[in-house]
Amino acid sequence: MAKAPVAKNQEMTVTIDDLTYEGMGVAKVAHYPLFVEGALPGEEVRVRIVKAEKKYAFARLEEVLVASPDRVAPKAKAYAQTGIAPLQHLAYPAQLAFKQHQVETLYQKAHLTIPVRPTLGMTTPSGYRNKAQIPVRMVNGELTTGFYKRRSHDLLPLEDFYIQDPHIDHAVLVVRDLLRQFQVPAYDEATNSGVIRHIMVRRGYYSKQMMIVLVSRTWVIPHLDELMAGITAALPEVTSLMLNLNDQATNVILGKKTRTLFGQDYLEDQLLGSTFRISPLSFYQVNPTQTEVLYTEAVRAAGLTGQETVIDAYSGIGTISLTMAKHAKQVYGVEVVPEAVKDAQTNARLNGLTNVDFVLGKAEDVMQDWQAQGLTADVLMVDPPRKGLAPSFIAAVGKMLPPKVVYVSCNPATLARDIAALQAFGYRATATQPVDMFPQTTSIESVTVLTR
């Protein structure tokens, strides 16, 4: 068995060649990869080996001897420790180039020749998140809000989350201070006891409406009336205050039951001129300005003239469907979450759109039913979760054969895999447009159009 060329605790000087998809620097010692968090390509660094495996090792960055011209001063150590902003030490133009390069690399590995355009970035790449789910725990005997350190359940107290809307950061602190004032116990993971587990806050980018959800282990909360009065007095933006019950010993944040304590059981906001109602459990893109860029790209890629029938196969609360409906003849949305379908139907009514229908079910099953009824689509719109398209869904596409597929992806690895699978049915991708939805992080969204 070949022995690793490095040993634990060994110190050495190396040159960084590349970045992994997780944003770690990569150096090679006799063709043996060394992963270094916080190091950038082109840098000469002094490192200490912390873990040596047979085929690779992890090293801690001790000192940057020759810095990359793309290195910038990080905002705070905590953002790296918690994984909130793993690319904060990389200049923003270089972050955009990194994301383009990641897609290109994955295409090369999958033997795909598809041009990748430069990533579309933000003017101000911070303070963009319109939703927060903040853990509440006891730290040194005091109820505390913050974020977990990476790969652990140790809470690091935090008051400024950098990539989050500052109004949301402020709201979390208001709720935290009121919970302290009324001595409401924080949740204890080890014993599945205590009360408040998480504070979830959503804020409408255009509407400025705010929803606060207290996630609790029990319906009974000490001083709940005073707590509600304190929150609504301190935060006049709050239009919805809710209590979510999660009494299970689980890592899942939200439970299935929610009660409205004050105001509406939804939040309203706008996207590209359409109004959307968002309930606490609904998926809604967290970067509003870049979502508009992403959806504008998707509509452009679809090449809609007003004559097309569009199927939106992962329609959620209807954000893409309603955007497409303004440019198409008819849109059919399919979604597997019942609450999301209800929200989507409400949103269509809210915007006076009559050329869009939403159906509950698995996209591959519903598409086969539609095909049996003689319904076909000119454009198939897909925006799947990170795991990408299921093989059964790709098989359904192979039966229906819509002339054009617009693929909105949040994971370039599954995107490359799925494009390769769709090629078997005669589809070819012309180009991919990355859009930076999550600045300071390694996440990559993109729009790719495939035609037969």
In CATH, 109-121+287-451 is 3.40.50.150: yes
pLDDT digits (tens, 9 = 90+) for 304-319: 999 999 999 999 999 9
- 1 pLDDT more than 80: no
Q: In percent, how much of the chain has pLDDT > 70?
A: 100
CATH topology of domain 131-271: OB fold (Dihydrolipoamide Acetyltransferase, E2P) (2.40.50)
Indicate which residue of 78, 410, 422, 447 is catalytic: 410
Q: What is the pLDDT of residue 394?
A: 95
| 11-71: CATH, from 3.90.950.20, 3.40.1410.10, 3.40.50.2020, 2.40.50.140 | 2.40.50.140
Q: Dump pLDDT digits (tens) for 132-145.
A: 999 999 999 999 99
Task: Provide the H-helix boundaries in 65-123.
Answer: 77-81, 92-109
Task: Kindly report the average pLDDT of the chain as a whole number.
Answer: 95
Structure confidence at residue 283 (pLDDT): 86
Environment class of 48 (CB within 10 Å of its CB; exposed 0-12, middle 13-18, buried 19+): middle
Q: What are 271-282's pLDDT values in tens digits?
A: 999 999 999 988
Bridge partners of 404?
379, 451
Within this chain, domains 109-121+287-451 and 131-271 share the same CATH topology: no
Q: Residue ranges per domain, the chain?
A: 11-71, 109-121+287-451, 131-271
| In the predicted structure, residue 8 carries a pLDDT above the cut 90 | yes
- Catalytic residue at 410? yes
Q: What is the mean pLDDT of residues 287-308?
A: 96
Q: Work out whether strand 267-271 and strand 274-278 pair parallel, antiparallel, or are unpaired.
A: antiparallel
Cα angle 365-368-372, degrees, rounded to a multiple of 5 = 140
Query: What span, in angstroms and rounded, lies between the C-alpha atoms of 125 and 132?
Result: 17
What's the pTM?
A: 0.93
H or E element that contains 398: helix 391-400
Q: Give the pLDDT confidence of 82-128 residue by residue, as tens digits.
A: 999 999 999 999 999 999 999 999 999 999 999 999 999 999 999 99
Which pLDDT belongs to residue 282?
87
Predicted confidence (pLDDT) per residue in 142-170, tens digit: 999 999 998 888 999 999 999 999 999 99
- The string of pLDDT tens digits covering residues 415-440 is 999 999 999 999 999 999 999 999 99
- DSSP state at residue 206: T
DSSP states of 41-72 as a string? TT-EEEEEEEEE-SS-EEEEEEEEEE--TTB-
pLDDT, tens digit, for every residue of 316-345?
Answer: 999 999 999 999 999 999 999 998 999 999
Asked if pLDDT for residue 2 goes beyond 80, the answer is no
